Chain A
């Protein structure tokens, strides 16, 4: 069916300040905010959503304008579709530079000090980071929820895999996940009997298949255990062929592009290679698809260009009384009006950097003092090589397959687990291919015409990039803080990020490098990996240098736990300190394992929606500890 987007917008700021009829205010329009909005509105509640950015991506024209901007950019980084908005800045890789130990770069939106510089990003736009996410949707493994007990590493969740499993299924329906249960064979997770994903899995690319031919059936030994390895497809929130067996034989209807008029596009992935930063046909899930349904209830209102700047607490009750919001008219001018909005429940869904930033800017460190701490992001180690034969690189979506056999195992007592992505977009992430190859062949080898064409094909279609997504455990010294010296155009304090890559992760990285060499040698590929000593993400470890990239999988900064003294939120993502405040998103996750965080944080949003409805309907009063 067609998904129409008809936004209800609040422009009447005076009336809005007086409006006390909202059941909930949600800060942020990404997946967490969108799912909460839909669940609450469908249950009859009235919701106001605040979005710091403009509404540009909401309709078809706006989405297309982002696409046009992306196409016309020379530098095609993962924020290139989104214009710079000084009133709601976002981190951009292009702002980064190498920093000496103790040296500070405050020219970038996120202020960082050397020596390690994280290039993690998130998108402040209508739809949040779901506009540019890659849409891989692996679930976390059973053992990822209890790493402290099992491996004496990280933190245990106050939830088990079994607690969250039904919500993973809700996410798979809402986002439209294409995958096959059989492809999860041997992994430490389970599905209900007879479960199938809404859509059949997307096929492995030719490149994946070539890698598979070289390595399937082989194995590696780690920590005394033998691990068979093979290339498998990833489940993805990207439209494929509906599975007629889904939902007890009801089948599934993929949701394509959203627009205020009828548009038939995006019902199937077309295999474009720019899933990141923007799917050209909206076959990839973005939270606008969920928001379109929420707006259709008539109970969701949007206030865009509205930056939440302070969460105010009633001293007597400890409840949030209101949120202060700076509403601007023009992204290029800082002129704004400050208003206050009220509701029964306040939900911060601004991501694991912006949510703690807002709390800390409001002076709310929490009883545990853990707001902003335990910042996690996957550490990516890139390895690249040239295959002996043309393998069709640059065809297919950004990533269709990978190696996930080392996501779990007893070795996690000593070193980080990882999942390996095979990149269909060649060495792009590591070297800037294909643009850098073109430049090199023209400038350095004077190629032109047919020779250049042949040279490019030969070079590009043999590229293999293995991206190792390595787990990072929570560590209180990895953190987000604020500092009044660093503010944005509206006078809001910007995030200050302090991060070092723990040795546990680096042991995983060192093993990953060795693992990549093994794979390359089995494929007869020429290892071209070289980490530039001038790389801003360089991490020396045991005499070797590794360039560590961010994964944009932010988590941990308002960690979930069993009690007020060990965590910021309870298992429903409800603040221990302020019982009408919910902090939702990756920030609640105590560990991230080797799964992209979105499916898990989206699953938590369903859990919170139920808790909020119980609270609004008067069934609960206090935050919930261990049951």
Chain B
């Protein structure tokens, strides 16, 4: 039986927001591996766009944590299974597709476009669709209470959360209460995390929660599926599309798929051939490279721990995450530049 997409109680809302945090994080490894697979000094347009999108996914992650904190939840990025085993499934309309880690290739770009693909909410389409049978592995964007069903798109998943917030808050108000009982000091604001577009504001009530999630949807897929968001920012979908179409959108461009700005050239050969969805078991035993891969996973676990602490009352720790990310870059570069005996280059495995 198809489950309802209406969130029933606060605990279900927590489940949804936990899933949102997991979902936002899950896009980072694919974007980061693709970003660092590009030969240094080449493909500046692709590098810039991948970097910006990754930075904004971190913003979305933080926004989801803020909303969860605002309603009294506790973000946990070290929960078992938080980092999916790649490849993992994401919903995209009637079908789902696999997202994995690997080199920056035309196929990877196609996948990134699917990740950010505009949703169908409000167009009469079903929000929930039955998950294809025989899928193994993890699945993001599924119904948190019924793994047999998933959302049509990431935007639809967020809209279900927005509806749930409205309903639950309305109910709470009837009895003179509120669901926004979280400690305000647990909110992460823009002094602790910065991204190019979109301001990180404290979530303290229904309006600020809805506005924060709207920003997430708009940055991903655009306002009303248009090219630009309300404050003139290009959505992720159209940022990636520029790489596919070989041209930048310019202010004034309104027609999707017809950018008129500067030309973009991509040198697909200037990319390290990273082994897709690499695992520690792909590394030669006892090799120096395996040591680096393990060291990366240890560092990544500490990074997730630092984020968890930041989202649990110590926002100032986010500032320490910055040098952490520089050290990631060094380790990732070390891995990605080295070929493996079985073919393909090494990469971080994100097995934490």
Q: Are A264 and B194 in contact (CB under 8 A)?
A: no
- B251 touches A (CB below 8 Å): yes
CB distance from A311 to the nearest CB of B (A): 37
Q: Are B191 and A262 in contact (CB under 8 A)?
A: no
Chain A residues, CB < 8 A from B44: 61, 64
Q: Are B52 and A264 in contact (CB under 8 A)?
A: yes
- A507 touches B (CB below 8 Å): no
- Judged by DSSP, the binding face of B is loop
Chain B residues, CB < 8 A from A267: 194, 196
- B63 touches A (CB below 8 Å): no
- B284 touches A (CB below 8 Å): no
* A115→B242 CA distance, assembly (Å): 58
- B55 touches A (CB below 8 Å): yes
- Interface readout for A229-257 with B: 1 if CB under 8 Å, 0 if not? 00000000000011000000000000010
Q: Which of B15-71 contact A (CB under 8 A)?
A: 41, 44, 48, 52, 55-56
Question: Which residue of the partner chain, among A61, A64, A242, A256, contacts B196 with CB atoms under 8 Å?
Answer: A256
- B107 touches A (CB below 8 Å): no
CB distance from B128 to the nearest CB of A (A): 34
- A514 touches B (CB below 8 Å): no
> Which partner residue on chain A sits nearest B248 by CB separation?
A261
CB distance from A298 to the nearest CB of B (A): 14
Question: Which residue of the partner chain, among A256, A261, A264, contacts B262 with CB atoms under 8 Å?
Answer: A261
- B190 touches A (CB below 8 Å): yes
Q: Are A261 and B250 in contact (CB under 8 A)?
A: yes
- Interface readout for B230-243 with A: 1 if CB under 8 Å, 0 if not? 01111000010000
* A262→B197 CA distance, assembly (Å): 10
Chain A residues, CB < 8 A from B262: 61, 260-261
Chain A residues, CB < 8 A from B52: 263-265
Chain B residues, CB < 8 A from A263: 48, 52
Q: How many residues of A contact B (CB 8 A)?
A: 19
CB distance from A58 to the nearest CB of B (A): 13
- A4 touches B (CB below 8 Å): yes
- B249 touches A (CB below 8 Å): yes
- Interface readout for A59-82 with B: 1 if CB under 8 Å, 0 if not? 001001000100100000000000
Knowing A1-B231, A4-B251 are in contact, say whether A261-B261 is a contact too (CB < 8 A): yes
- A2 touches B (CB below 8 Å): yes
Q: Which of B178-208 contact A (CB under 8 A)?
A: 190-191, 194-197
Q: Which of B219-269 contact A (CB under 8 A)?
A: 231-234, 239, 248-251, 261-262
Q: Are B233 and A2 in contact (CB under 8 A)?
A: yes
- A268 touches B (CB below 8 Å): yes
* A568→B233 CA distance, assembly (Å): 48
Q: Are A2 and B261 in contact (CB under 8 A)?
A: no
> Which partner residue on chain B sits nearest A253 by CB separation?
B199
CB distance from B105 to the nearest CB of A (A): 23
- Interface readout for A1-38 with B: 1 if CB under 8 Å, 0 if not? 11010000000000000000000000000000000000
22 intermolecular pairs with C-beta atoms under 8 Å apart: A1-B231, A1-B232, A2-B232, A4-B251, A68-B41, A71-B41, A200-B191, A241-B191, A241-B194, A242-B190, A260-B250, A260-B262, A261-B249, A261-B250, A261-B261, A261-B262, A262-B249, A264-B195, A264-B197, A265-B48, A265-B196, A267-B194
Q: A1-B231, A64-B44 are in contact. List 4 more A-B contacts (CB 8 A).
A: A68-B41, A241-B190, A241-B194, A262-B249
* Interfacial residues, chain B to chain A (CB-CB below 8 A): 41, 44, 48, 52, 55-56, 190-191, 194-197, 231-234, 239, 248-251, 261-262
Q: Which are the 3 A-B pairs with shortest beta-carbon distances?
A: A264-B196, A261-B248, A264-B52
